[in-house]
Every structure is written in C-alpha cells, then in structure tokens.
Amino acid sequence: MSAMKPNYPENSWWVAAVGEEVTRTPLGRWFLDRPVVLYRTEAGEVVALEDRCPHRWAPLSRGCLVGDDIMCPYHGFRFDATGTCTKIPTQQTIPAMARVKTHAVREDGPFVWIWMGDPARAQVTPLPELPFLSGPGWNTMRGYMPVKANYMLIQENVLDLTHFGFLHADTLEQKGWEGGDSEVTVADGTVGYRKQMRQEPVASFLGIPDGIGYGQKADRVDWGHFVSPAVHHAGVDIVDPRPGREARTLRFQITHLTTPESPGRTHYWYALGHDYGEYTPERCAELTDLIVATFTQDKDVLEAVQDVIERDARHADSVEVSVTADRPALQARRILRAMLESEQGRTP
Ligand code: FES
Ligand SMILES: [Fe+2]
C-alpha cells in the first residue's frame, strides 16, 4: 500500500509554513521524513536548514539565532544561512564535515514553499500558481490541520466528491454529486474533473459570503485539479440565482495543500477565496466553523482509513475495488508513479 511507505517526490515544491510562522524564533518541522528548521535572517529572508546538528544530532530548532547564524542548544556550534559551521566554542579548527544541508525556499503570497530534492531543479521549476490568494477582488481565508494519514489519501479525497452526499451530508450539503459522471481531463502531469449541475439547491457555504438564499436552486459547475502532489485547486462557479441580479458567475475556490511529514502524517493547509460578497466578522466565523467541521469529517475518516491500512496485514491478498467515480484519483496515482519512477526508479 502506497500509504504506508514514502511515496513523495523530492523534486517538487511543498508548502512548509505560512509566512508569519517563520520568524526570528527557529521553527522545527518535519517534511518528507526529514527534520527542517526554518527562520528569518535579520533582513527578513527565509532560511531552511537541516534540523540536525552534525555533532550529536541535537535539533538546531531548539537553539537560538545569533545574528543570521543558528546556535545549537547542546554544545553551542553555530551555522550560517548556507549551513556552514562558523564556530565551535572549544576549538579554532572546524572539520570540513561540520555543515548542515540547506533547502531551497520561496515565499509567495501567504505561503513559504520548500524544495527537498535537487537544488538545481528547484531553480528551474516555478511555484504552483494560486492567483486567487493574492489577486485583487478575492476575499480569502485559510487554515491548517495536522492529519494522521498519508497525503495521497487527502489528494484522493478531494478528487472524488461523491463523498459529499454521505460524509458531509450534515455540513457542506453540496448537492448533485450522487448521479452522473464528471468530465475527467488529463494533461501535462495534472488531472482535473468538471461536473455541471442544473438547478441544484445552493449549499450554505456558498451563500454565506453574500446571502445567496440557502436551498434556492441554481446552475453551477464544480471543478478541481490535481496540480501536483502538493496542490489541489478546486472551485465552484455558480450562476447567481437571485432575481434582478446581473447575470454573472460567482466564483468560490478552495486550494488544498498537502505536505507529507512521514508516510502516515501530513501537514494540511487549506485556503478559500470567493470573488463575491464580503466577510463580516459574523460571516467569517460562520464560514470558518462550517469549513472546519467539514474538513474534520474528512480528517476523521482518512485517519481511520490509515489506521486500517497500517494495522491490517493482509495487503498482498486483499483487493481495493475502484469504480467510475475513482477515475481522477486513479489518474493521480499514475502521475505520481511516473514522478517517483523518474526519481531514482522509486515506485510508490
Ligand atoms: S549536538 Fe550540536 S553542538 Fe553538540
Ligand atoms: Fe470532503
């Protein structure tokens, strides 16, 4: 089962943190089975170093900054932002091996991204674009949840929205996914789905920003893309059903950002945006409660799935039955397999 062993490409941009989490106090966090310490230089640049002192493996994140250097909490070795050891308190000479690995990082909009693989490839690989997060005309909000499940379980969850009518029957209430297939498109290492809904009741989360009547019927399109193993971008385009309103499409978008910590644990950030209405504090709180309740339902079921995967030993002689609704998720697995095979012949 891919959800039990490392199944993550190193040569990919992954979200490491929200910008304001990275400060002059070192932040330790695990990505792709490796410890990383994040901090800002005095000039405000983000630094990502291996969070393992080469002396006796103390986490540098437990230390402190001295200028732009980080000082190990155990015996006081210091390392600069390039990972070079700059000071050993007990001697003048510094062994050549006394250095820590650095990781490429980029800050874009609200997020800090990290590249755990070949640094040369980081330089030529653009970040995934999330224009609604920093573009004009969008109201946005975001959140974070640690999930004790493999990151691909989250990616597959958001590629198959037929769970809406069951898992989220009492939260999202996004109707229309029970019948009919969606269009599935595969191109350039991504997979997308698109489903047109006719005269379905408006879900409450779509109505909160602008008071669109809950339960009022409207045409809409639900769509989503597996942009990379780190990013799923989804949206709802809804035709404003209120009489007397200009005929324009209201857009609500959600980005799911999955960064593996280990095979069984994932950092999960989500960001929402809509180009209509606005957030009053009350609307923002209402939407936040609804989204957290919904994503907690996903988290709970995915953690239960992970638990079965880890504890039931009958993997080799058990089947996993797929149905038509799983087409996007199966395509995503193929894309991931190709990425892993291109990295040192690894397979998920
Ligand atoms: S473990 Fe870091 S200085 Fe000894
Ligand atoms: Fe869900």
Atom 3 (ligand 1) nearest CA: 75
How does residue 347 score in pLDDT terms, banded at 50, 70 and 90? low
What's the pLDDT at 81?
A: 98
Same domain flag for 96 and 163: no
Distance (Å, rounded) from C-alpha 163 to C-alpha 338?
27
Same domain flag for 200 and 334: yes
Residue 170 sits in a domain whose CATH number is 3.90.380.10
Atom 1 (ligand 1) nearest CA: 56
CB 85, CB 78: distance < 8 Å: yes
Atom 4 (ligand 1) nearest CA: 75
Half-sphere exposure of 26 (CA within 13 A, CB side): 27
202 vs 258 pLDDT, higher one: 258
Q: State in Å: Cα 51 to ligand 2 middle.
A: 34
Same domain flag for 140 and 206: yes
C-alpha 275: how far from chain center: 22
Q: Is residue 348 part of a domain?
A: no
Total domain count, the chain:
2
Q: For ligand 1, say whether the CB of 58 is within 6 Å of any of its atoms.
A: yes
**How is residue 285 written in tokens?**
């709180």
The ligand 1 atom nearest the CA atom of 60: 2
Q: Whole domain around residue 310: which residue ranges?
A: 131-342
Q: Is residue 83 part of a domain?
A: yes
Q: What is the DSSP string of 50-91?
A: ESS-TTT---GGGSEEETTEEE-TTT--EE-TTSBEEEBTTB
How does residue 348 score in pLDDT terms, banded at 50, 70 and 90? low
260 vs 347 pLDDT, higher one: 260
How does residue 276 score in pLDDT terms, banded at 50, 70 and 90? confident
35 vs 134 pLDDT, higher one: 35
**pLDDT higher than threshold 80 for residue 306:** yes
Final residue of a structural domain among 123, 156, 181: 123
Q: Is residue 3 part of a domain?
A: no
Same domain flag for 115 and 167: no
**pLDDT higher than threshold 60 for residue 99:** yes
Of 8-22, 34-48, 313-327, the least confident: 313-327
Final residue of a structural domain among 85, 107, 123: 123
pTM of the predicted model over 0.85: yes
Same domain flag for 80 and 221: no
Final residue of a structural domain among 123, 145, 171: 123
